[in-house]
Amino acid sequence: MPSSVETLALWRSLVRNPRFLIVNGEGFPWGFNVKGLGYDIDVRNLPVFTDEELVQAVASKRDIAIPTGKLSDNLFDAEFDIYRTLGSQGAAQKWFAENLWRLEKLGTVIVRSPQYGFHVLGFSRSDSLDLNAITDWLWVVEEDNRVFPDVIHFTSRNRPHYVILPNDNNGREYLTSCRTIRKI
């Protein structure tokens, strides 16, 4: 698992002028969600956190994230919740063991979630997504008809989607050896 300092350095090498967010967790009418920010944000006025604040957040068992869309060079996140589609976290772990080569072939950063889903990250060449190009690119994974993206996060009018980044205490990890992001 990478340290918070390593994660910040990696994302600074991938995204021009990255905007990092601190994920505090958030209460909703249906309950508490650890992936909620815990504060209001607007794409026109994102908070600015120092490296010290980001490192301290991770040390305090909170997460750091990076927004998708225009805020991060048109970053998108193709989310695969295979622990749901395959029926269990154990089945998802087995799929990873047998199919890591498929993910390596994508040639991009891929983040595994604590529940054994995964996020394939890419940069869109424009302010919109070319779904045909993305579908063709992801075909190596989707050849297994049990595995498909649940959602592709890209941009939002008011509140951005964000990718929670791996650190040494949150159960997320980079799945492949690739440390670049493919432009589609």
pLDDT digits (tens, 9 = 90+) for 25-81: 999 898 999 999 999 888 888 899 999 999 999 999 999 999 999 889 999 999 999
Residue 28 backbone dihedrals phi, psi, to 5 degrees: -125, 165
| 125-182 pLDDT, tens digit each | 998 999 999 999 999 998 999 999 999 999 866 677 999 999 988 999 999 999 999 9
Both tokens of 8, joined, read: 């910040």
| 68-119 pLDDT, tens digit each | 998 899 999 999 999 999 999 999 999 999 999 999 999 999 999 999 999 9
pLDDT at 158: 66
Burial zone of 67 (CB within 10 Å; 0-12 exposed, 13-18 middle, 19+ buried): buried
DSSP 114: T
Please state, in angstroms and as integers, the Cα–Cα distance from residue 92 to each residue in 6, 13, 96, 97, following that order.
27, 30, 6, 9
pLDDT at 21: 96
Burial zone of 50 (CB within 10 Å; 0-12 exposed, 13-18 middle, 19+ buried): exposed
Give the residue extent of every domain in the chain: 4-183
| 3-22 pLDDT, tens digit each | 889 999 999 999 999 999 99
pLDDT at 19: 94
Beta carbons of 57 and 63 less than 8 angstroms apart: yes
Both tokens of 50, joined, read: 């120092």
Provide the 10 A C-beta neighbour count for residue 2: 16
Nearest to 182 by CA among 102, 122, 93, 117: 122
DSSP 166: P
Q: What is the pairing mode between strands 110-112 and 173-174?
A: antiparallel
